[in-house]
């Protein structure tokens, strides 16, 4: 196999700045807070930090509504604080990947303010997607991903503008070469600061379908579901090739496209090993298995996905991209519930065991693993009981639409669904220690701290050699040491295809084999896969080894 690239051997740690560490005690995390904690991140052993947006923002969607791409959010600090963070991270040998949010800007961005003026001579009007009303209504039936219509009317100009997300996040018009030029210029500007790459927010949505046709609409839905129509649009690969020529090809960066609606076929283009577009993509298949994609409820539910469904999806991506493109590996991020609560078991009896099991299953696959802050502690869903504790625009809008407007869910059910799926589950402050506000801030935090912080926190984890933290540290060390983890061929163990409890796969490189066996249930099971159970144990989550017997959430990884 060809020599691997640095970003193929790397492990990424995702920091959600608003909730990581507050240094000035205003209840909101900030850049100096992150700088202060670099030693902790380094100790975990990762190679790259991905920072969620840190730019000036209208603060409607956790910073994904950027009002100045070249300015720092003042509540996070100043440009000098960012430069210090970058320099210190580099001293620690940590690279820094930034978030690039260019499917849309904030409505407070200069470009949008200028765009409000209608007229042929206004170059900024065409930076966004404006359309005339049709029969006094929206130009088409699209719904916003955050509830309500995807169009907002502007009285002054008697036109609508498109926003796939909140109305404060108008979509940029990538068909306009000047807009593309402005974005590439901005990216090169960040490059000159010495950053190490970009995670590209919903980059699969930048090229809208010709004519903006109506989208399919479920029987009970208020709006058409534009998801599939706008994903992987007609010019998206052309625009990414152009970005590659104008920007990416000049730097030895890590790039990952967040590609909602990506299929395997499309991923082979976005993340092709020929390097013509991006290094890798975040695909969403395994994140959508426990939702109600085709009903008005969308992601809102509290079902658990079955192991066969989850495995089928993960295995499909391992096989399909093999030798052609590159996978990213993730269980959760700032938009998803905590993995231990979702695919494991956050009951205190099983939390640590299942967090380790899930970690091992993910980290031995092929691809670049991403760890979301707190995942390395086995942090759990926040589980807020009251609506007033939620902050996320998606959650609050969905509550309003499903409970108040459509009346298809009652308050109690929706709160149950929020406890299972709200993005706020992942956005509670990082739990550093057992002191006030988990050591995150001396001020009341912008969002409540998870009530389990006295048991689950960094200080406790570092004091306990058998903590989830040290398990992750070990996984990362193994990946750095053993090329087979990056390069080995993935194979599902024969006979495992339909197993409802156990997930087992191998990785093979030359004469070496790694075997992963994981019990996804709280039951004891026994399996004989007709493969050598001998060999050296690379990592496991119980002290001893009972051969073919697997205890609740047991994982064992052998090398032979
Ligand atoms: O969060 C989701 C499901 O709950 C996704 O649909 C999410 O909106 C989608 O993956 C896009 O996410 C990204 O862009 C959004 C932003 O709100 C998310 O935080 C970001 O990760 C709009 O910029």
Sorting pLDDT into bands at 50, 70 and 90, what band is 2?
A: low
Q: pLDDT at residue 337 above 80? A: yes
Tokens coding 308: 């066969």
pLDDT interval class at 534 (50, 70, 90): low
Residue linked to tokens 């976005």: 270
CA torsion, ordered 237, 239, 240, 243, to nearest 10 deg? 160
3-state secondary structure of 53: coil
Active site residue 99: no
Residue 474 dihedral angles phi and psi, to the nearest 5°? -65, -40
Provide the mean pLDDT of the chain: 96
For the cut 90, the answer to whether the pLDDT of residue 118 exceeds it is no
Q: What percent of the chain has pLDDT over 70?
A: 98
Domains within the chain, CATH numbers bracketed: 6-104+177-385+430-471 (3.20.20.80), 489-559 (2.60.40.1180)
- Radius of gyration, alpha carbons of the chain: 23
Instruction: Name the residue at shortest CA distance from atom 22 of ligand 1.
Output: 64
pLDDT tens-digit series, residues 399-455: 999 999 999 999 999 999 999 999 999 999 999 999 999 999 999 999 999 999 999
SS3 content of the chain, % helix, strand, coil (to 5): 35, 20, 50
pLDDT bracket for residue 530 (50, 70, 90): low
Q: Do the bridges between strand 549-550 and strand 525-526 make them parallel or antiparallel, or are there none, so unpaired?
A: antiparallel
The helix/strand/coil state of 298 is: strand
The stretch 476-493 carries a mean pLDDT of 97
The protein residue with its alpha carbon nearest to ligand 1, atom 19, reads: 335
Between helix 351-363 and helix 468-481 the angle, nearest 10°, is: 10
Please tell me which residue in 30, 258, 346, 394 is annotated as part of the active site: 258
Q: Is the pLDDT of residue 536 over 80?
A: yes
pLDDT value for 119: 81
**Which pLDDT value is given to residue 533?**
61
> 357-361: long-range contacts (C-beta < 8 A, 24 or more apart)?
357/518, 357/519, 357/520, 357/541, 357/553, 357/554, 357/555, 358/331, 359/468, 359/471, 359/472, 359/475, 360/471, 360/475, 360/516, 360/518, 360/539, 360/541, 360/555, 360/557, 361/503, 361/516, 361/518, 361/555
At residue 383's C-alpha, the angle toward residues 300 and 305, to 5°, is 45
What SS3 state is found at 551? coil
Q: List the end-to-end C-alpha distance of the chain, in Å, as a whole number.
A: 20
Which pLDDT tens digit goes with each residue over 128-143? 999 999 999 999 999 9
Protein residue with its CA nearest to atom 3 in ligand 1 = 335
Residue 1 has pLDDT above 70, yes or no: no
What stretches of 372-467 show up as alpha helix (H) in DSSP? Answer: 393-399, 411-421, 458-463
The Cβ-side half-sphere exposure at 149, using a 13 Å CA radius, reads 12
Question: How far out from the chain centre does Cα 41 lie?
Answer: 18
pLDDT of residue 120: 77
Whole-number Å distance between alpha carbons of 260 and 90: 31
> For 224, which DSSP code?
B
One-letter-per-residue 3-state SS of 107-124: CCCHHHHHHCCCCCCCCC
Q: Report the DSSP beta bridge partners of residue 555.
A: 518
Q: Which atom of ligand 1 is nearest to the CA of 103?
A: 23
Confidence of residue 545 (pLDDT cuts 50, 70, 90): confident
The residue-averaged pLDDT of 27-44 equals 98
Residue 242 appears among annotated catalytic residues: no
- Quote the tokens at residue 242: 């152009």
Greatest Cα-to-Cα distance within the chain, rounded to the nearest angstrom: 76
Quick one: average pLDDT of 531-539?
78
Using CB atoms within 10 Å of the CB of residue 458, give its burial: 0 to 12 exposed, 13 to 18 middle, 19+ buried.
buried
Asked if residue 27 lies in contact with residue 446, where contact means CB atoms within 8 angstroms, the answer is yes
- Residue among 22, 81, 196, 201 flagged as catalytic: 201
Does the structure show a pLDDT above 70 at 531? no
Check pLDDT > 80 for residue 293: no
CB 101 near ligand 1, within 6 Å: yes
- Residue where the block lists tokens 């790459």: 197
Q: What would the mean pLDDT of 327-349 be, rounded to a whole number? A: 98
pLDDT of residue 291: 84
Give the position of tokens 């990082």: 430
Ligand 1 pocket member 165 (CB < 6 A): yes
Substitution candidate for ligand 1 out of 64, 370, 420 with most atoms within 8 A of CB: 64
Torsion angle of the four alpha carbons 308, 312, 314, 317, in this order, in degrees rounded to the nearest 10: 180
For residue 217, pLDDT over 70 is answered with yes
Q: How far is the CA of 254 from the centre of ligand 1 (A)?
A: 21
Q: How far is the CA of 159 from the centre of ligand 1 (A)?
A: 26
Kindly tell me if the per-residue pLDDT of 296 is higher than 90.
no
Which of 238, 240, 219, 218 lies closest to 228 in space, CA to CA?
Answer: 218
């Amino acid at each position: 196999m060809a020599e691997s690239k640095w970003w193929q051997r790397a492990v990424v740690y995702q920091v959600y700045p608003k909730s990581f560490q507050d240094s000035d005690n205003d209840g909101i995390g900030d850049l100096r807070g992150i700088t202060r904690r670099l030693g902790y991140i380094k100790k975990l052993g990762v190679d790259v930090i991905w920072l969620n947006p840190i730019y000036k923002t209208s603060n409607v969607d956790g910073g994904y509504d950027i009002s100045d791409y070249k300015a720092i959010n003042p509540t996070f600090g100043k440009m000098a604080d960012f430069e210090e963070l970058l320099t210190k991270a580099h001293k620690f040998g940590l690279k820094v990947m930034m978030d690039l949010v260019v499917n849309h800007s904030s409505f407070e961005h200069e470009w949008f303010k200028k765009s409000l003026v209608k007229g042929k001579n206004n170059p900024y009007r065409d930076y966004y997607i404006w359309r005339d009303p049709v029969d006094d209504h929206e130009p088409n039936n699209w719904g916003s991903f955050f509830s309500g219509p995807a169009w907002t009317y502007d009285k002054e100009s008697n036109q609508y503008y498109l926003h796939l997300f909140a109305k404060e996040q108008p979509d940029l018009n990538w068909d306009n070469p000047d807009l593309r030029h402005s974005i590439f210029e901005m990216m090169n500007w960040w490059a000159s600061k010495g950053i190490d790459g970009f995670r590209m927010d919903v980059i699969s949505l930048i090229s809208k379908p010709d004519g903006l046709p109506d989208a399919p609409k479920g029987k009970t839905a208020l709006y058409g579901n534009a998801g599939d129509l706008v994903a992987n649009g007609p010019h998206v690969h052309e625009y990414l090739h152009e970005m590659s020529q104008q920007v990416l090809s000049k730097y030895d960066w890590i790039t990952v496209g967040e590609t909602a609606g990506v299929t395997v076929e499309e991923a082979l283009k976005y993340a092709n090993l020929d390097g013509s577009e991006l290094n890798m993509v975040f695909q969403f298949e395994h994140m959508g298995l426990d939702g109600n994609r085709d009903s008005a409820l969308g992601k809102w539910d509290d079902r658990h996905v079955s192991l066969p469904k989850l495995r089928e999806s993960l295995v499909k991506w391992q096989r399909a991209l093999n030798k052609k493109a590159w996978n990213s590996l993730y269980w959760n991020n700032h938009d998803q519930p905590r993995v231990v609560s979702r695919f494991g078991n956050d009951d205190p009896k099983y939390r640590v065991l299942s967090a380790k099991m899930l970690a091992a299953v993910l980290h031995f696959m092929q691809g670049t693993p991403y760890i979301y802050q707190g995942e390395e502690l086995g942090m759990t869903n926040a589980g807020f009981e009251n609506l007033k504790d939620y902050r996320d625009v998606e959650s609050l809008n969905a509550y309003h639409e499903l409970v108040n407007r459509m009346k298809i869910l009652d308050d109690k059910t929706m709160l149950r669904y929020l406890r299972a799926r709200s993005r706020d589950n992942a956005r509670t402050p990082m739990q550093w220690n057992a002191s006030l506000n988990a050591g995150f801030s001396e001020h009341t935090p912008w969002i409540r701290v998870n009530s389990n912080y006295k048991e689950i926190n960094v200080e406790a984890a570092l004091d306990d050699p058998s903590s989830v933290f040290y398990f992750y540290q070990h996984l990362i060390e193994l990946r750095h040491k053993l090329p087979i983890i990056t390069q080995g061929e993935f194979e599902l163990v024969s006979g495992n295809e339909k197993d409802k409890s156990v997930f087992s796969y191998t990785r093979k490189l030359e004469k070496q084999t790694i075997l992963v066996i994981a019990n996804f249930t709280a039951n004891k099971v026994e399996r004989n896969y007709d493969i050598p159970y001998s060999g050296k144990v690379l990592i496991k989550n119980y002290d001893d080894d009972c051969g073919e017997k697997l205890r609740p959430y047991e994982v064992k990884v052998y090398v032979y």
